[in-house]
Amino acid sequence: MFTNETIKELNIKRNVLLNPGPSTTTDTVKMAQIVPDICPREKEFAGLMKGLREDLVKIVHGDPEKYTSVLFCGSGTLNLDVCLNSLLPAGKKVLVVNNGAYSTRAVEICQYYGLDHIDLRFPVDQRPDLALVEQTLRENHDIAMVYTTHNETGTGILNPIREIGALAHRFGAIFVVDTTSTYAMRPIHIEEDNIDFCMASAQKGLMAFTGLSFVVGNRAIIEASKDYPKRSYYCNLYLQYDYFERTGEMHFTPPVQTIYATIQALKEYWAEGEQAKWARHTRVFEAIHQGLDELGFRDVIKREEQAGLVVSAVYPDDPNWDFEKIHDYCYERGFTIYPGKISTRNSFRLCALGAIDEQDVRDFFVVFRQALERCHVSVPVIYSDEK
């Protein structure tokens, strides 16, 4: 719709979002939302969604015969709800491999629906113990679904999904993974990673907007789920899939403008390329670490266990440290930082999502250091157990 020159002239303020999504978008993606009004029941619109659904499978290297994607209107949590309530046969159990806030959210969904489940908890700063996962599967023959989170966004820990998926399959269970904070960033190969269902939303790795969420998964399992107990109407996977297959449309009103923006974001995704995009996120991640290291901050998660997208740093033991004040100082200068999501330890997060590069992170650290100085926080920062 708009030429690059016109978009440039608009001079839209650029904010660097270092929060874990929504992420910084390009101006071309922002402007792709401005389109002539269209009724989404028109053939022209259905045509757009077909290509979009195919692209979403392609991003995780799925064979289009075997895997499909199903779109929903809502934020990312909707996907967790959809998979958990739709893919559990009667009389069966879910095993949630839980080492963080997002898997805990899945447990809460099980509780709300009254789904039989095992909440297999591990410390938030450690990877799950695979021997315990295996033992649980061995002792509970009624587990039909194993569920976990790829990158626990609350801490940034990377979970060994390929290994957990292999265990699930060995014991005849399906494997569902919340990949919301890795999809379209850290490369995923749905089949090799032993994933039956993964999920994401347009506002994270794809660098578009909130309102479009999607499940990518095994078509045959979706078809088998036709006869599973119906626990939700709006959030039933089979119902939405079947409607798409028959009509090419979403069952209920789609997020029209978000879909236009996502299609533009996908064009930009393919133009940048999977490897180059991951290399860029990695550069940003390393620049974040370098900046934090120079200031003396400590990581919550061991460096080698981080997913390469979210850095959680421990609050220093400095009476002048005031996250809110530091946040506000940075925010006023175009940089957004985010609190942590660990109940036992005070932390904050800096994330490598979005249309940003290492120079943005360097610019951020100039401002962040000023914020620390303004607040009279000692630099390098201090921790009380320091010798």
Ligand X SMILES: *Cc1c(COP(=O)(O)O)cnc(C)c1O
Distance of CA 361 to the CA centre of its chain: 21
Q: How far apart are CA 298 and CA 383, in angstroms?
A: 9
Tell me whether residue 102 or residue 365 sits nearer to ligand X (CB atom): 102
Out of 75, 136, 232, 282, the residue judged to bind ligand X by CB under 6 A:
75
**Least distance in Å: CB of 162 to ligand X?**
18
Site track 4-43 with ligand X (rule: CB under 6 A), x = hit: ----------------xx----------------------
Residue 212 to residue 184: CA distance in whole angstroms: 15
Cα 325 from Cα 43, distance rounded (Å): 51
Using CB under 6 A, which of the segments 173-181, 221-229, 275-283, 300-308 binds ligand X?
A: 173-181
Among 23, 86, 104, 180, binds ligand X (CB under 6 A): 180
* Selection from 232, 262, 261, 228 nearest residue 69 by Cα: 262
Give whichever of 181 and 240 is closer to ligand X, judged by the CB atom: 181
Closest CB to ligand X among residues 20, 316: 20
One of 45, 67, 72, 102 touching ligand X (CB under 6 A)? 102
Residue with tokens 């934090």: 292
Smallest distance from ligand X to CB 201, Å: 5
Instruction: Map the footprint of ligand X across residues 247-306, applying CB under 6 A.
Output: none
CB of 267 to ligand X, least distance (A): 23
- CB of 352: closest distance to ligand X in angstroms? 13
Residues 194-223 that bind ligand X (CB under 6 A): 201, 204
Closest of 175, 167, 180 to residue 221, by C-alpha:
175
Label residues 204-230 b or e (16+ Cβ within 10 Å = b).
bbbbbbbbbbbbbbbbeebeebeebee
Q: Position 133: which residue type?
A: V
Note whether 62 binds ligand X by CB under 6 A.
no
- Sequential DSSP letters for 321-369: --HHHHHHHHHHTTEE-EE---TTS-EEEEE--SS--HHHHHHHHHHHH
Considering CB under 6 A, how many residues would be counted as binding ligand X?
13
Q: Is 124 helix (H, G, I), strand (E, B) or coil?
A: coil
Structure tokens at 84: 């958990």
Q: Is 361 within 8 Å of 291 (Cβ atoms)? A: yes
How far apart CA 62 and CA 55 sit, in angstroms, is 10
Minimum separation from the CB atom of position 298 to ligand X (A): 23
Q: Does residue 354 bind ligand X (CB under 6 A)?
A: no
**Which neighbouring-strand residues pair with 339?**
348
What span, in angstroms and rounded, lies between the C-alpha atoms of 13 and 5? 16
Give 179's strand partners: none
CB of 310 to ligand X, least distance (A): 8
What is the residue-wise DSSP string for 19-74? SSSS----HHHHHTT------TTSHHHHHHHHHHHHHHHHHTT--TTTEEEEEEEE
Residue 104 as a binder of ligand X (CB under 6 A): the answer is no
CB of 140 to ligand X, least distance (A): 25
Tokens of 92: 């069966």
Site for ligand X in 127-166 (CB under 6 A): 149, 153
Least distance CB 212 / ligand X (angstroms): 11
- The residue range among 3-11, 59-67, 84-92, 178-186 that interacts with ligand X, by the rule CB under 6 A, is 178-186
Which residue lies nearest ligand X, judged by its C-beta? 76
Q: How far is the CB of 193 from ligand X (least distance, A)?
A: 16
The reply on whether position 181 binds ligand X by CB under 6 A is yes
Instruction: Provide CB contacts within 8 A for 282, sequence distance 6+.
Output: 308, 352
Residue of the chain from 81, 125, 178, 358 that contacts ligand X (CB under 6 A): 178
**Is-contact 91 69, C-beta < 8 A?**
no
Is 77 a binder of ligand X (CB under 6 A)?
yes
Considering the complex, state which of residue 125 and residue 178 has its C-beta at the smaller distance from ligand X.
178
Contacting range for ligand X; rule: CB under 6 A; set: 7-15, 69-77, 123-131, 229-237: 69-77
- Interaction site with ligand X (CB under 6 A): 20-21, 75-77, 102, 149, 153, 178, 180-181, 201, 204
